[in-house]
Amino acid sequence: MVEVKPFIDVSTHRTKFIDVRRKKFQLISHDVQKFYVCDDVSIVVSPSKDDTIVRKKQKEHKWFLNNSLTYLFQKFCQESKFVISYPTFCRMRPFWVIFQKVGSQNTCLCVKHENAQLMCQRMRTLSLINDRNLDRLIDSEMCCNPKTNDCLFHLSDQCRDNTIVFGEYKDYRTFYEKWETVTKGDKNQYRKTKKVRKYCQVNDLVTQFHDCIPAYMAHCGNWYHQFQSLKHLKSGLTKSDLLLHIDFAENYECK
């Protein structure tokens, strides 16, 4: 007697497989978008109507990234349980999370971050250091693994004596770029931030870069501590609690 095998509906199994993949994609997409709007990844500079962006009739406030996508991708891989590729990470970035032009910034993100980063890029071009990204350079050569807030304030016994390793160089005249805010106009004066080129000796450039690192790390440490404290407060909120986050710019004035 011939045994008759039960009929298997291939289309049903395929539909279930597609549903599983779709649900996984939605979970990954939600996790990536949640990461992009985290306080230590991007910020909202101003809640005004001018700082909004519209796409497909969806209006959102602009969030500005505070680091490169390559560095943020490494940070995402360390924190998330999902494994995705770098192109997928970039493709899932929300349309309202963008890069901000330095000239339009009115917070400390401009001076203390961009000038140090520009100097780091120039140092890498001259083959004096091993990385173009200053945060990644500090993480690899001056901090523990994993990095803690004590590392940024030189309080850790394991890394407090670490320094950035510079390559061999000859002392000759070179240049680096820097953002500066200048005052223009005679009667109607206004301030404008522009990128200028500074000339100096290579030895002076190395000295300036070495001297700016402690202040830069302390600034990042304060910012990282504020983020961790705010994240802890948010995690403990109840339905009857309200958290107000008021961020005043450095040039805040009463009008």
- Cβ atoms within 10 Å, residue 206: 19
Distance in angstroms (rounded) separating the CA atoms of residues 43 and 66:
7
**What number is the average pLDDT over the span 91-105?**
77
pLDDT at 1 (0 to 100)? 53
Structural domains counted in the chain: 2
Q: Are 174 and 200 in contact (CB under 8 A)?
A: yes
Of 100, 116, 137, which residue constitutes the final position of a domain?
A: 100
Q: Indicate if 200 and 121 belong to the same structural domain.
A: yes
Residues 111 and 81 in one domain: no
Do 79 and 39 lie in one domain? The reply is yes
- Which pLDDT belongs to residue 182? 77
Domain coverage including residue 187: 101-235
Which of 100, 125, 159 delimits the end of a domain? Answer: 100
- CA-to-CA distance for 176 and 201, rounded, in angstroms? 10
Q: Does 78 or 89 have the greater pLDDT score?
A: 89
Average pLDDT over residues 205-211: 93
> How confident is the model over 16-29, as pLDDT tens digits?
667 778 888 889 99
> pLDDT tens across 100-149, in order?
765 454 444 557 788 899 999 999 999 999 988 898 899 889 998 888 88
Quick check: is 248 in a domain?
no
Q: Is residue 240 part of a domain?
A: no
pTM of the predicted protein model: 0.68
Residues 54 and 148 in one domain: no
Same domain, 86 and 170: no
- 168 CB neighbour count, 10 Å cutoff: 6
Residue 255 belongs to a domain: no
More confident residue, 5 or 233: 233
Question: Do 230 and 106 lie in a common domain?
Answer: yes
Whether 93 and 105 share a structural domain: no
Before 47, cis peptide (omega within 30)?
no
Q: What is the pLDDT of residues 152-200, one digit of tens each?
A: 888 888 888 898 989 888 899 999 998 887 777 777 777 777 888 999 9
- Give the lowest-confidence range in 180-189, 212-221, 235-244, 245-254: 245-254
- Domain co-membership, 124 together with 75: no
Residue whose entry in the numeric block shows the structure tokens 């996984």:
24
> Is 135:65 a contact under the CB 8 Å cutoff?
no
Long-range contacts formed by 51-56: CB under 8 A, 24+ apart: 53/95, 53/96, 53/98, 55/95
Do 79 and 166 fall into the same domain? no
pLDDT confidence of residue 255? 44
161 with 230, same domain: the answer is yes
pLDDT at 122: 93
Taking all residues of the chain, what is their mean pLDDT, rounded to a whole number? 82
Going by their DSSP bridges, the two strands 97-98 and 63-65 should be labelled as parallel
Distance CA 229, CA 220 (A): 14
Q: Where a domain ends, among 61, 84, 100?
A: 100
